A and B are shown apart, each in its own frame.
Chain A
Amino acid sequence: MSDAFIEKLKILVVDDELAIRRYLRTALAPHAHEIIETDNGEDALIQCATHHPDLLILDLNLPGINGITVTQRLREWSEVPIIILSVQDQDTAKIEALDAGADDYLTKPFSVGELMARMRVALRHRKNEVTEPVFETGKLVVNLSTRIVTVDGEEVQLTPTEYDLLKVFVKYAGRVITHQQMLKEVRGAGYQTEIHLLRVHVSNLRQKIEDDPTNPQYIRTEAGVGYRLMA
């Protein structure tokens, strides 16, 4: 699994469960230059300050200060990519951490494949701030300079709101995007709405770009959190 973004990384793993740290250590070993481990939030902040890792894998449930607080403190001075580890039924905490600046999340139990995909996207966003003018995933092509959207070569007519939404999805491609983040992004375009109106627009957008909106290939709903444009 060679990957330009993941090789030679310094990764900080923060989890109070030894078994999970061991699993992550083994799984990450082929791709990391160095793996630092810690089992609590306070130490995580110190390790970040001293070692400047390239990526943080952060459990939400920690003794002492929790993952949300660690994210908030870290974001005061660091832009290091953060991937949150959570369990089922932690939707609220997940959203809080994402809104505080975490890049993405994984629900335990997760596979190595999922972890690598999340890491790859997170790193790409940090390293490559300049977006390409043309975004392509599957049969969907979004040309940001000409504002033309095509599916399987055919042009799709979008309303201005739908296009704005799609543009935000493209910006966050591959990453989860919470409803709040979404609203914050589109409000800049003078767009005021409630969440359920946002959902109606996303639903309309799906109708136009998805083959089967009940089995979407591009815009996935992350139940209880937000959306993710698959990339």
Chain B
Amino acid sequence: MSVHYSDNNLPSLTPSTHTDRLMVAVSTSPSSVRLVRAGYRMAQQLDADFIAIYIENPTQEIVPVQSQKQVNETLRLAESLGAKVLTITGQSVSKTLLKVAREHQVTQIVIGQTLRSRWQERLQGSIVNTLVRESAEIDVYVISTSRDDFSNSVSLDEQGGLSWQSYLAGILAVGVATLVGYIIDSLFHFNPTNLVMIYLLAIVVTSTRYSYGVAAVASFLSVVVFNVAFVPPRYTFRVEDAEYIITFIGLGSVGLVTAYLASQVRRLAISAQNREQQTARLYAFSQDLAIATDIQTITDNLLSHTTQTLDCELALFLPEQNTLHLQQTSATFYINQREQEAATRAYQQGQQAGKGTKLASDALGLYRPMRVAKQILGVIGIQADAPLSADQERLLDAFVSQYALALEAIQLAQKAQKAELLSAKEKLQQTIISSVSHDLRTPLVSVKGALSSLLQDGDTLTDAMQHELLSGAFEETDRLNRLLGNLLDMSRLQSGAMILKREPYAIAEVISVARTQLQSRLKNHTVQVSLAENLPLIQIDLVLFAQVFVNLLDNAVKYSPPSTTIQIEAVLNDGDVILRVMDEGRGIPEPELVHIFDKFYRASTANSVGGSGLGLSIVQGIVELHDSSITAQNRPDGGTIFTITVPESQTLVI
């Protein structure tokens, strides 16, 4: 154990293998601020974790609001300096301090030394002395603070809740005790000393229900009434037998002590109850936060929970590209330019601003920067008719710090999501590039191959072989041309650069254009067209809508065996024109049906067939441009059906 007095004797900075933890004990004194700063400097030098602790004594006379505010202020400062802040309830400051210190494996404690008169110390015992005596392995640093800081004495006025009813109840209790005493006395004629027990019972009952003062009054009254009513000579204040003086002193002092103990128990209970309530509220709030995934929801939660529990209005400001924006306010938070400015100053200077502070004090609200570690996440604005009580302040602080943590978590998650999105986009681009370059290269391979073999070995190849090579290359150039057309259409569809020249056309004409374009592709398949009577004209861009059929027919040729039939059908359904293209191919695996219109998506069964995965997505793009829709189904006996629905609004009856 080592004790270092005064703050110019800082510990030598020997590197330690374990992490140092430094704990500053904060009191209601304003000089605790100095203590926190000194502790912070020491923690920095030691590279130690920094803890600030306030021991709340529930048995203490009620702490003035002023002092509570001071404590909150000090703890907030500590938090902003990166300290872990603890508020612990305990009977003995020194014992609680040491207990917490051991729990948190604290290596150094910093505490302020109050300068008190010697007799006060004798009487009350110095916290510092006890601490030093019992600290064992923990170093204790004592920093002197001036006495003036402790001039806050508790005045009785602040001991609220002492109404005349409770005193009346105390008097009544003594009255009842006297009545019972009379009955017993008249029945049994006991020694009056025994009746003292009845008065004690009354005092105990009173003290458990009412304040210490009431119990004290009841004790005093008991002595007087006992004397007058029972002690001979009865009904006078005189006392004949001197031994009754002992009884009086006994009754009075036992009453007072009982009252004191009972009131302490009650205070502890009330304090525990308050804590429990606050914990429950915080717990409800943190549960709500846990399931929320966006800033809006957690902000709603903060505002609703806070305004439910505390009588104040809140506003939340969050920075966006270094300027502070109002995110949300509770119902009646008053906001104008001045309030906004106060919030901005709080954000920029990293300290409180607004009403009752040095910054922008003309504002109506109080604005506090909201921190996580050393980063300011935003500003919270508080407007209340009456200043918040110490407990309320503490609860608000707890709410806000929970919120700040949730906010930070969400912001981090959003960042991660953005990064993921970016990588997904990159992946798509890669897919496009690899798909396109593959599809462009494949036909080029056969063209180049055919041409090179003709160039090199043209003389030795038979006419049939030459023809074979050339016609293969020739077909591949068509494929290349179709692919380029698709790519062009795709990019125009995506950029929204498609300008539709919509005019009324007969469905037969659309189909005829597509069939003409695909004549050579369709030569191994039978195309069967059945058109209902009285079909209306459809309002379409002929070139584009023909492309729909070109791609669907091309698809059907690709995925169905030669000499099967491709059916095209057009029927009228309640004014809408239903167009169907059906093949007898292998169909599309059910789970993949929803994906086949996706860009670059190719059914798992399509690997053996060349294709870019663009055709159907272009089909869908064009169909949707025409305010129509397309779906794909499998036929029960094999093959695929593509169904286009052109709504009645896009038709024209001649």
Residue ranges of A at the interface with B (Cβ–Cβ < 8 Å): 88-89, 91, 109, 111, 195-196, 199-200, 203, 206, 212-216, 220-221, 223-224
Contact = CB atoms under 8 A, between A and B. Distances in A.
B488 interface: yes
Given A89-B488, A203-B506, A221-B513, A212 B529 contact: yes
A199 B516 contact: no
B503 interface: yes
Given A109-B481, A214-B529, A195 B542 contact: no
A199 B542 CA distance: 12
Nearest to A203: B506
B202 interface: no
Contact of B542 (A88, A212, A221): A221
B537 A88 contact: no
A43 B10 CA distance: 95
B481 A214 contact: no
Contact of A223 (B481, B485, B537, B546): B546
Given A88-B488, A109-B477, A214-B511, A196 B537 contact: yes
B512 A213 contact: yes
Interface in B427-483: 474, 477, 481
Contacts of B506: 199-200, 203
Contact of A213 (B508, B516, B568): B508
Interface residues of B, number: 27
Contacts of B652: 196
Given A200-B654, A214-B508, A220-B512, 18 more contacts: A91-B543, A109-B481, A195-B503, A196-B503, A199-B503, A199-B506, A200-B506, A203-B508, A203-B509, A214-B529, A214-B531, A215-B511, A216-B516, A221-B513, A221-B542, A223-B542, A223-B543, A223-B546
B513 A223 contact: yes
B505 interface: yes
13 contacts: A88-B485, A109-B481, A195-B503, A199-B503, A200-B506, A203-B508, A212-B529, A214-B508, A215-B516, A216-B516, A220-B512, A224-B501, A224-B542
Contacts of A88: 485, 488
A163 to B, nearest CB: 20
Contact of B512 (A109, A195, A196, A221): A221
B527 A215 contact: yes
A174 B515 CA distance: 19
Contacts of B504: 196, 199
Nearest to A91: B543
A215 B481 CA distance: 23
A215 B515 contact: yes
Contacts of A220: 512, 516
A217 to B, nearest CB: 10
Contacts of A200: 506, 537, 654
Contacts of A212: 529
A196 B509 CA distance: 12
Contacts of A195: 503
The 8 closest A-B pairs by CB, nearest first: A214-B511, A214-B529, A224-B543, A223-B543, A203-B506, A196-B504, A223-B513, A213-B508
Contacts of A214: 508, 511-512, 515, 529, 531, 568
Interface string B525-555: 0010101000001000011001000000000
Contacts of A206: 508
A216 B512 CA distance: 7
Contacts of B516: 215-216, 220-221
A199 B509 contact: yes
A32 B506 CA distance: 43
B554 to A, nearest CB: 16
Nearest to B507: A214
Contacts of B509: 199, 203, 221
A194 to B, nearest CB: 10
Contacts of A91: 543
A190 B85 CA distance: 98
Contacts of A109: 477, 481
Contacts of B531: 214
A61 to B, nearest CB: 15
Nearest to B654: A200
A215 B503 contact: no
Interface string B186-225: 0000000000000000000000000000000000000000
Nearest to A111: B474
Nearest to A108: B481
A190 to B, nearest CB: 22
Nearest to B505: A199
Nearest to B501: A224
Contacts of A203: 506, 508-509
Interface in B101-131: none
A91 B506 CA distance: 20
A204 to B, nearest CB: 9
A91 B542 CA distance: 12
A223 to B, nearest CB: 5
Of B474, B488, B542, most A-chain CB atoms within 10 Å? B542
